Amino acid sequence: MTAHDPEANPFSTVSATRLAWIGLGGNHPDTLSRMRRALVRLDRHAGLTLLAFSPLYRTEPVGPIRHQPWFWNGVAALACRTSGPRALLRLLQRLEREAGRDRGHEIHWGPRPLDLDLLFFGGRVIRSRSLILPHPRLHARRFVLRPLADLAPGWIHPTCGKTIDRLLDEVDDTARIIRLGRMGVDSERLIREP
C-alpha cells in the first residue's frame, strides 16, 4: 500500500518517503509568535525545507479540561532531505522546550504554549517507546484532519488505507473549529520547492 497518491497530493515533487507532516498548536496568548518562530527555525534547519503551512484554525479544547482558552492549530509540510523521523522528533521536542513547554509539569489535556506533533513521515509505520507513526490519534481529531485536508486531501493514511478527506468525513470529533487566514508568514517562503 502506498502512502502517497501523486495525483491527489500537491507535494508530488518531493519524494513521498522524505515528506513530513507536522501538527502545530497551542493556546497561550503568544502561541502565534511561537508557532512563527518554530516554522522559521524548521525552515532554516539543515536538511529541512518548509513547503507549506495550512490555513490557521481556532479550535475548542477537547478532553476533560474544557474551561481553558481555545487553541490555535495548523499543519506544516516539510521536505526532509537528511533528517529521519527520530531526529525530526527530537528537533520538534527541543523547539517546544525552547518555546516554554515543560511536558514534565504540564496538565494532560491542559494549556500549552506550543505543541509540535510529528503526524506522518512519508508512509512509515513505527511503533516504539519513543515514536509512534503515524501519530496515534490524528484520525480522531478534527483539529488535525481539517488543516491537513487543506494541504493534502488525497494523502493516504498508511495503516488504515483511507485518504485524509475520507478520515475527515468519518471523524466523530464534534469540537468546534473555525477557519482563519494564514498567520501572516510570507507565502513565497512557505510554498517553494526544496
Sequential DSSP letters for 67-126: SSPPEEEEEEEEEESS--HHHHHHHHHHHHHHTT--TTTSPTTS--S-EEEEEEETT--E
Does 71 reside within a domain?
yes
**pLDDT tens string 145-188:** 999 999 999 999 999 999 999 999 999 999 999 998 655 544 33
> What residue has cell string 478532553?
63
Predicted model pTM: 0.86
User: What's the mean per-residue pLDDT of the chain?
Assistant: 85
Better-scored residue on pLDDT, 61 or 3 = 61
Give CA–CA dist 51/48, Å, rounded.
9
Residue 7: pLDDT above 70? no
Sign, Cα dihedral of 141, 142, 143, 144: positive
**pLDDT tens string 89-132:** 999 999 999 998 888 888 888 889 999 999 999 999 999 999 99
3-state secondary structure of 50: strand
The phi-psi region of residue 192 (left if phi > 0; otherwise alpha if psi is between -120 and 50; otherwise beta) is beta
User: Looking at the 3D structure of the chain, how many domains does it have?
Assistant: 1
Does 1 reside within a domain?
no
Does 161 reside within a domain?
no
Better-scored residue on pLDDT, 180 or 141 = 141
Residue 140: pLDDT above 50? yes
Catalytic residues: 101, 112, 115, 117
Does 147 reside within a domain?
no
CATH code of the domain covering residue 126:
3.30.70.560
**pLDDT tens string 32-85:** 999 999 999 999 999 998 988 999 999 999 887 888 999 999 999 999 988 899
Indicate the pLDDT class of residue 13, thresholds 50, 70 and 90: low
Give the other-Cβ count within 10 Å of 136's Cβ.
10
Give the other-Cβ count within 10 Å of 91's Cβ.
18
Does 58 reside within a domain?
yes
Sign, Cα dihedral of 138, 18, 162, 57: positive
Does 28 reside within a domain?
yes
Q: Across residues 6-31, what is the average pLDDT?
A: 78
Does 50 reside within a domain?
yes
Does 90 reside within a domain?
yes
Q: Give the domain extent around 40.
A: 17-137+175-190
Q: 176-180 long-range CB contacts below 8 Å, 24 or more apart?
A: 176/59, 176/60, 177/57, 177/58, 177/59, 177/60, 177/73, 177/142, 177/143, 177/146, 178/57, 178/58, 178/59, 179/55, 179/56, 179/57, 179/146, 180/55, 180/56, 180/57, 180/58
Residue 181's pLDDT is 62
